[in-house]
Amino acid sequence: MMDSLNTSYERRPPRFHDVSHEDWQSWHWQHQNRLRRPGDFEGVLKLSQQERSAFEDISDRFRVAVTPHYAALMDPDDTHCPVRRQALPHPDELLDHSFELEDPLAEEEFMPVTGLTHRYPDRALLYTSHHCPVYCRHCTRKRKVSNPTTAASRDQLQAGLDYIKATPAVRDVIISGGDPLTLSDDRLGFILSRLREIPHVEVIRLGTRNPVTLPQRITEDLAQILKKHSPIYVHTHFNHPAEFCSEAAVALERLLAAGCVLGNQMVLLRGVNDDQEVIMTLNRRLLLHGCRPYYILQCDMARGITHFRTPLRKGLEIMDHLRGRIGGMGVPDFVVDLPGGGGKIELLPDYIVGKEPSEHGQVIRFRNFQGNEYAFVDVDPAN
């Protein structure tokens, strides 16, 4: 594919200069060498005073972990670097706002069995692990993710699978977490086999940020497992073009070759990607690598992420910019996941500028992406 990307290995910080290429490309090595404490960032980047103090105050609330791979994508000299902002703690995470919610999407309330959320008639979300290679500061599941006491046990997983088997309305299962690719290949293969045995489960999705934070995890072995259960819908989470590199591209290629259908669910984040040109570049890049932008998610009402929130107007502006300027495949839905378990709704810019009655129904005046106006006769036999 025509995308001249560096490897993260080439960009690795001085701390990792002696690491072999083979180690770097091993996800076990990446996992074992994650940066977790302020001292680990020596030879990687200079922590700002804010980041340093945030480390002390925050890490017991929501853990810090950064793979060497993801750290290599950071700008060591710029605290506003979009990659850095997503992974390094910030004092604003401690600000409490009265409207913030512990479980913003009421995921626990909609759990018929522990570890499975059944909100929509045909879809169920299965929590398989509460670990992730990198703990995103904007995570909506902050309260659970990274907390080892809440990890899904074998019994819990079995109860989730039993529930799906006993509930024929569930056609679409989302394997989620945390990040399900923190499971072993065997465990993941087991879950996929069990799900494929259930006749009414038509769609299996895997929600994972590993292509971004730990692309080395997408091994040939893993690809073979996914291929066996093809098609698996893999929904990943790129938020910024700076997260692309050769390793990520290889991971996406492998998933495609394994028959996976790729989608991207990004979160709109203030100071990270709340810019129409950034999103345009990101979506072009995703399409170039066979991954369709699926959702732009409004940052929700979870505790400790309000500093990342943008006004709804921002998302609408971005949608308005995309439509018409990039092919429809590059225009995702802008969705808000409603608090209290209302589910996702889509927000769209308003293209209607006027309506007049006519003898056939109505004349609707629309504007297009360039702001030009067009009259459309909406024929309505009921008139």
Ligand X SMILES: *Cc1c(COP(=O)(O)O)cnc(C)c1O
* Residue span binding ligand SF4 (CB under 6 A) among the ranges 75-83, 113-121, 173-181, 249-257: 173-181
In eight-state DSSP terms, residue 41 is G
Q: Rank residues 179 and 247 by Cβ distance to ligand X and give the closer one.
A: 179
Binding of residue 248 to ligand SF4 (CB under 6 A): no
Q: Quote the tokens at residue 375.
A: 């009259």
Binding of residue 180 to ligand SF4 (CB under 6 A): no
Binding region for ligand X (CB under 6 A)? 105, 117, 119-120, 123, 125, 174, 344
Q: Rank residues 107 and 198 by Cβ distance to ligand SF4 and give the closer one.
A: 107
Q: Rank residues 107 and 179 by Cβ distance to ligand SF4 and give the closer one.
A: 179
Write out the E strands in the chain. 116-117, 123-127, 172-176, 203-207, 232-236, 261-268, 291-298, 333-338, 343-347, 352-358, 361-367, 373-379
Q: Rank residues 147 and 362 by Cβ distance to ligand SF4 and give the closer one.
A: 147
Q: Residue 210 in contact with residue 251, Cβ under 8 Å? A: yes
**Residue that the structure tokens 């394997």 belong to:** 175
Residue span 120-149 as binding mask against ligand SF4, x where in contact by CB under 6 A, dash where not: ------------x--xx--x-x---x----
- Give least dist CB 117 to ligand X, A: 4
Cis peptide, bond prior to residue 231, ω within 30 of zero:
yes
Cα torsion angle, 247, 133, 340, 165, sign:
positive
Please pick, from the candidates 119, 143, 209, 240, the single residue that binds ligand SF4 as defined by CB under 6 A: 209
- Alpha carbon distance 29, 22 (integer Å): 9
- Give least dist CB 211 to ligand SF4, A: 11
Could you list the active site residues?
A: 119-120, 123, 132, 136, 139, 141, 300, 337, 344
Q: Quote the tokens at residue 9.
A: 């290995």
In eight-state DSSP terms, residue 27 is H
Write out the E strands in 195-316. 203-207, 232-236, 261-268, 291-298
Q: Rank residues 229 and 237 by Cβ distance to ligand SF4 and give the closer one.
A: 237
Q: Rank residues 198 and 238 by Cβ distance to ligand SF4 and give the closer one.
A: 238
Name, in order, each residue with C-beta under 8 angstroms of 16's C-beta and a sequence gap of 6 or more: 24, 33, 43, 68, 72
Name, in order, each residue with C-beta under 8 angstroms of 121's C-beta and a sequence gap of 6 or more: 169
Please pick, from the candidates 177, 189, 293, 332, the single residue that binds ligand SF4 as defined by CB under 6 A: 177
Binding of residue 243 to ligand SF4 (CB under 6 A): no
Please pick, from the candidates 179, 247, 274, 337, the single residue that binds ligand SF4 as defined by CB under 6 A: 179
Contact partner, 119, from ligand X, ligand SF4, none, Cβ < 5-8 Å per class: ligand X
Q: Is 114 helix (H, G, I), strand (E, B) or coil?
A: coil
Q: Is 323 helix (H, G, I), strand (E, B) or coil?
A: strand
Task: Compute how many residues bind ligand SF4; rule: CB under 6 A.
Answer: 10
Q: DSSP string spanning 16-39? A: GTT--HHHHT-HHHHHHT-B-SGG
Contact partner, 183, from ligand X, ligand SF4, none, Cβ < 5-8 Å per class: none
Site residues (CB under 6 A) for ligand SF4?
A: 132, 135-136, 139, 141, 145, 177-179, 209
